[in-house]
Amino acid sequence: MKTVHHALAEATPGTRQSLLSLHYGEPGSGPRVLILASLHADEVPGMLVAHHLRRRLAELEAAQRLRGEIVLVPAANPIGLQQWLGGYHHGRFELASGENFNRHYADLTEAVATAVQGRLGDDAAAHVACVRAALGEAVAALPAATPLEDLRRLLLGLAAEAELVIDLHCDSEAVLHLYTTPACWPALQPLARCLGARAVLLAERSGGDPFDEACSMLWPALGQRLGMALPQACLALTVELRGEADVSHALAAADAEGLLQFLALRGLLDIDAAEPPPPLCEATPLAGSVPLVAPHGGIVVFARQPGDVVQAGDLIAELIDPFSGATTPLLAPVSGLFFARDQRRFARAGGRLGKVAGSQALRQGRLLSP
């Protein structure tokens, strides 16, 4: 295993931070996989899963069971890890800019198209190699004056050669669920089964340019830009490892084994790969995931748990105004799986309190939470 410390640009003199990546297997010996944890730095379950993966990957490497290179980033956001204010951890948004750490990743389609125009022949494997080389150059040319810009550049650089990118997050309170694109989903179905996903949310473009889409959407966008068929050479997804408080060795060890089983099914690990369990859900459009929005501020009392199947109009929660005493029922906006809710029990007007995954696409524009 090779350990690499990537120094980030300094925001002010004397405040340098670094990103750690752990490299298992030999580069070029097979496909590259990138697994990163807690890009939203206060979403801890992914870091514990990475801790368990770290030990298992070291064992597999020592036993010569790797059939490619696996890059593990056990804590993908050193900037967010140090953001504490008033005793509370703030890991979703950079305090300096207000930007979400998992948004605004560069769309490099045009830069790569310009670099490879006229250089792609009839060899599909040569296409992929040429595009990845151009992608690496485009990533290296990105601005990196601030720590956040540099973090985005470094993560995209680690992903440029990857065939598979797994971004480990969690929700506030939730069942395990996945986000990916329709093009990636067929190849990723076994992973949903290995992890026991209760919801899978699909979108071509979810809005906001999250990290996983910057990795996967380049390939279909580039093929469209060049007027030629290109393979989906990077599969990428976001795994939401339940809720923020779901941090235990039992859960993390099981999730780590689920990830390893999927890698074995793809031929990246030379270990016995059992047939995954039956799927627990069907994929639904991200545009069919409808938030439950507070019409006014007040005390939130939930009537349903994450994982409950609800019908449109079912009572999800009550919102109580502590001044007037008025109680407002909050009803399921659509039929589907109530898969996530906010752990806070006091809301402000306009706040998102939960999400129901419906089967019909109803929303447009930016589909992800802020």
Residue range 86-120, pLDDT digits in tens: 999 999 999 999 999 999 999 999 999 999 998 88
Q: CA–CA distance from 61 to each of 87, 169, 224, 270, 313 (Å)?
A: 40, 26, 39, 10, 53
* Of 114-123, 181-190, 209-218, the least confident: 114-123
Would you say residue 199 lies in a domain? yes
Mean pLDDT score, 160-182: 99
Q: What is the pLDDT of residue 98?
A: 98
Residue 286: DSSP 8-state: G
40 belongs to a structural domain: yes
Report whether 118 contacts 227 (CB < 8 A). no
Task: Tell me whether residue 364 is in a domain.
Answer: no
Over range 24-35, report the average pLDDT: 96
pLDDT above 70 covers a percentage of the chain that reads: 100
pLDDT at residue 323 in the model: 98
Whether residue 267 sits in one domain with residue 318: no
End position of a domain, from candidates 281, 306, 328 = 281
According to the model, what pLDDT value does residue 124 have?
77
| 61 belongs to a structural domain | yes
Whether the per-residue pLDDT at 182 is higher than 80: the answer is yes
Instruction: Confirm whether 118 is domain-assigned.
Output: yes
Instruction: Tally the domains of the chain.
Output: 2
Residues 292 and 264 in one domain: no
Shared domain check, 241 and 304: no
Is 90 exceeded by the pLDDT of residue 125? no
Question: Are residues 88 and 213 both part of a single domain?
Answer: yes
Q: Does residue 1 surpass a pLDDT of 80?
A: yes
12 in a structural domain: yes
Residues 197 and 319 grouped into a single domain: no
Confidence of residue 76 (pLDDT cuts 50, 70, 90): very high
- String of DSSP letters for 313-339: T-EEEEEE-TTT--EEEEE-SSSEEEE
> At residue 38, does pLDDT exceed 90?
yes
Same domain? 246 vs 305: no
Q: For 245-263, what is each residue's pLDDT tens digit?
A: 999 999 999 999 999 999 9
Domain limit, last residue, from 227, 248, 281? 281
Residues 335, 238, single domain; the answer is: no
Domain match, 51 and 71 both = yes
Query: Residue 166: which domain range?
Result: 2-281
* Overall average pLDDT of the 145-170 stretch: 98
Same domain, 298 and 218: no
CA dist 110 and 225 (Å) reads 8
117 and 236 share one domain: yes
Amino acid 123: pLDDT: 81
Assess contact for 302 and 341: CB atoms under 8 A. Answer: yes
The mean pLDDT of the chain is: 97
- Residue 116 belongs to a domain: yes
Looking at the domain assignment, is residue 77 inside a domain?
Answer: yes
C-alpha to C-alpha distance for 241 and 72, rounded to whole angstroms: 17
| pLDDT, tens digit, 9 for 90 and up, residues 289-337 | 999 999 999 999 999 999 999 999 999 999 999 999 999 999 999 999 9
200 with 212, same domain: the answer is yes
Domain identity same for 350 and 232: no
Please tell me the predicted confidence (pLDDT) of residue 253.
99
pLDDT at residue 370 greater than cutoff 90: no
